[in-house]
């Protein structure tokens, strides 16, 4: 073997060796397990905190409200739709209270008149419908029909 080839072969071996070594330390262990990504990342994504607990958890304690709601027009609406995430409230019910939304604007997000809204949803003109009154004075949110 000519000497220049020998020198080149040695150089190449060192280069490839270094490459494999560096790659070994830089590429995460789980990379490529399922595809061209870090498989551990799937678990990390799974481990994010859950903030919305789900209506079933709410009704576990607030049976009375669940009963009122079941007969009303808002029966199929989840508690957290209006009250916001309840995860913290479940962990520590006394010190963390969920939102109790008030005001015409909040109800208006579903019930303000809008041409795009399906006709089946009751809609009012917020500026004309009993101006200045709070919605909850007439309509109880858990069972909104006036009785």
Partner 1 sequence: MKNPRRNFLKTIATITGGAIAASVAEPFNALLYASSFPGKNVKGGSWYGMGIDIDKCIGCGRCADACKKENNVPREPFFFRSWVEQYTIKNDGEVKVESPNGGIDGFKQSVPDEEVFKSFFVPKMCNHCYKSPCVQVCPVGATFETRDGVVLVDDKYCIGCRYCVQACPYGCRYIHPQRKVVDKCTLCYHRITKGMTPACVEVCPNGARIFGDLNDKNGALIKFLKEHTCLVLRPHLNTGAKVYYNSLSTEVR
Q: In b/e form, how buried is each residue of 22-52, taking b as 16+ CB within 10 angstroms? A: eeeeeeeeeeeeeeeebeeeeeeeeeeeeee
Cβ at position 119, least distance to partner 1 in Å: 11
Of 5, 109, 137, 146, the residue at the interface with partner 1 (CB under 8 A) is 109
Closer CB to partner 1, 62 or 85, in the complex: 85
Q: Does 93 bind partner 1 (CB under 8 A)?
A: no
Of 12, 16, 18, 41, the residue at the interface with partner 1 (CB under 8 A) is 41
Are 23 and 16 contacting, i.e. CB atoms less than 8 angstroms apart?
no
Please give the Cα distance from 90 to 83 (Å, whole number). Answer: 13
Q: Which of residues 51-90 bind partner 1 (CB under 8 A)?
A: 51-52, 54-55, 74, 76-78, 80-81, 84-85
Are 62 and 70 contacting, i.e. CB atoms less than 8 angstroms apart?
no
Of 25, 35, 92, 95, the residue at the interface with partner 1 (CB under 8 A) is 35
Cβ at position 80, least distance to partner 1 in Å: 6
Q: Label each residue of 88-120 as H, E or C.
A: HHHHCCCCCCCCCCCCHHHHHHHHECCCCCCCC
Footprint of partner 1 (CB under 8 A): 28, 31, 34-38, 41-42, 44-52, 54-55, 74, 76-78, 80-81, 84-85, 105, 108-110, 112-118, 121
């Amino acid at each position: 073997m000519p000497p220049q080839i020998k020198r080149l072969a040695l150089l190449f071996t060192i280069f490839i060796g270094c490459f494999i070594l560096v790659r070994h330390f830089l590429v995460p262990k789980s990379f490529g397990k399922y595809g061209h990504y870090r498989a551990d990342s799937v678990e990390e994504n799974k481990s994010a905190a859950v903030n919305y607990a789900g209506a079933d958890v709410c009704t576990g304690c607030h049976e009375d409200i669940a009963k009122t709601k079941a007969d009303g027009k808002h029966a199929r609406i989840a508690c957290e739709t209006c009250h916001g995430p309840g995860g913290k409230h479940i962990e520590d019910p006394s010190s963390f209270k969920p939102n109790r939304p008030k005001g015409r604007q909040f109800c208006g997000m579903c019930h303000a008149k809008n041409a795009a809204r399906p006709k089946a949803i009751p809609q009012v003109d917020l500026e004309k419908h009993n101006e200045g009154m709070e919605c909850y004075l007439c309509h109880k949110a858990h069972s909104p029909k006036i009785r």
